[in-house]
Amino acid sequence: MKRVVITGLGAITPIGNSVGEFWENIIAGKSGAGPITKFDASKFKTTFGCEVRGFNPENYFEKKEARKYDSFTHYAVAASDEAIKDAGLELSAMDLEQRAMIGVIWASGNGGIGTFEEQLKEYYGGDGTPRFNPYFIPKMIADIAAGVISIRNKLHGPNYCTVSACASSNTAIIAAFDTIRLGKAHVMIAGGSEAAITPASVGGFNAAQALSKNNADPLGASRPFDKDRDGFVIGEGAGALVLEELEHALQRGARIHGEMIGGGMAADAYHLTGTPPDGIGAALGISKALEEANITPDKIDYINTHSTSTPIGDVSELTGMKKIFKDLPVAISATKSMTGHLLGAAGAIESIICILSAKHDIIPATINTKNIDEQIPKGFNIILGKSIKAEVNYVLNNTFGFGGHTASSIFRKYKGE
């Protein structure tokens, strides 16, 4: 199998609209939470979230073109543009044969949910005459971001969307990894985007008792592992990775951020939205990732947990992890305490964190957590409050989604070997 490295990164997040700004704020322990401004949320049980701020789609599209796309596609293009530039890919100099070996696998759990709501509101709020925007369908469908990225860059390789709820972008990255290892592409752009801070989304998650209702303290509301946690904080944005076959990257003199060495996927097979008390899906996915990476659990230096700050989910995940890591004091943290939960985009931005953690030997912290829930399995080295310097060679990224989807990916420091 071919080796796969990461040569480009891009991010649009609630705590930074570039990888540099995002990483700086992750290390500083900055929260992106605040009152919702996307719509009037005053009557909702939850009135806050982690919104992208200071983003203008017209920095990436002509004004007329920008109207053709939902915000989740705007974020996707912005993040992928940064990743392509970061990778130093000279696409304009490539011929058709070369472009046919560069593909896009892009994820979104909700797609253009904002567009969907707006169009139906106009229809049902009118006289019943169907006056739908001609771009309604392409703005809404979840696969359109992958299509736009490929059209924009004239990339003719494999192109599709993965949808596995909050595991979606980690699934996309694993799929891109497999595509390159099998020789079906030299380069893949993979990641995910969400723009789901909308009335239906917030209302729906409220109805499911999934969101924090700590309206008095948005900045401190996302507190994974804490005994007083009461749900996740919804976020939005995008993360993009350029994955590349090692020899291809070396031949063109690319800068390498890190290497991907394994990915594991499994299913809880338990419940529509809940996670099993024994964490079986998490354990299976992690086990498969370790097997593919051909490493033992003691090699993992840091785990970016999925932990969203829900009462059941955090315990379930760490219970599953305990089956694999047993008494190993592996360092873990939950960076959703800063970014909120980016749903289908979470796996991508957290993969960026994992890659940069190994590259810079820094482990980011879980912020806001004061008192660890007694139900959380003991033995893990939970990094709280402030990021730490530590040797980081192997990192694990966990993601889980409604429907029982689990996806775990493993990255390692690239040392030029």
Q: Which residues are catalytic?
A: 166, 306, 341
CA-based Rg of the chain, rounded to a whole angstrom?
Answer: 20
Calpha distance 142→74 (Å, rounded): 13
Calpha distance 283→351 (Å, rounded): 19
Q: Which of 84, 79, 86, 414 has the alpha carbon at shortest distance from 257? A: 414
- Counted residue by residue, the chain has a size of 417
Strands 331-333 and 302-304: parallel
